[in-house]
A = this chain, B = another copy of it.
């Protein structure tokens, strides 16, 4: 990377308001962050509903949308024959886990639990790009366990502790657990511990692989964010 350009990090804006975010994203020079080379990546964590997520995302430069949440990136991810500039980090991490573990995806039945813009939808689109037959299960789905128990690959992002038990799974299924929920645990250092959607010990006896929480998808998300940031910088500085 040439020089040492500043990176617009993900720390909450000092003003803590939507206007503050607009101001910071647009920069003093009027859109400098969005248009110029002042940063390699732009990433905003949305702390609450007080923020107009759509308005903020639309301000993010497509070339620096390392989270991959810009509607053009999502559109290009969903459309066949197109390539998004960035794939959202957590879904990309899930796919990387499957690919690097040698899990066959083509022609396999995959079920994604949850249909959020940041996990459920993009992981479903990614699995479909890899020619899986994908079903998205959500809050309105009746008897979801009857659908998951036929899947070769289950990606769960429900945020419901211990939702997935052995009875939900087909023998040999591969389970990617994206759920992360804090549950009280007086014996833990901070009085709580993080658990996933999978009742971890139980499905281990039936699934061929299950990712742990913490330590499974989480580190992959961070790795993919770094990967997207590097890609962004390489494109920006002509190192592609």
Contacts and interface: CB of A to CB of B under 8 A. Distances in A.
Interface stretch (A90-98, A135-143, A205-213): A135-143
Interface in A118-139: 121, 125, 128, 131-138
B78 A140 contact: no
A75 interface: yes
A133 B106 contact: no
Interface in A90-113: 106-107
Interface residues of A, number: 34
Interface stretch (A16-24, A79-87, A167-175, A227-235): A79-87
A56 interface: no
Interface in A44-71: 53-54, 70-71
A10 interface: no
**Copies of the protein in its oligomer:** 2
A74 interface: yes
A82 B52 CA distance: 12
A162 interface: no
Given A134-B135, A138-B133, A141-B133, A71 B82 contact: yes
Contact of A79 (B79, B121, B131, B132): B121
Contacts of A70: 75
Contact of A135 (B82, B117, B133, B138): B133
A7 B141 CA distance: 44
A76 B73 CA distance: 10
Contacts of A80: 115-117, 121
A128 B82 CA distance: 22
Given A70-B75, A115-B128, 10 more contacts: A71-B82, A74-B75, A78-B78, A79-B121, A80-B116, A107-B141, A131-B138, A132-B140, A133-B140, A133-B147
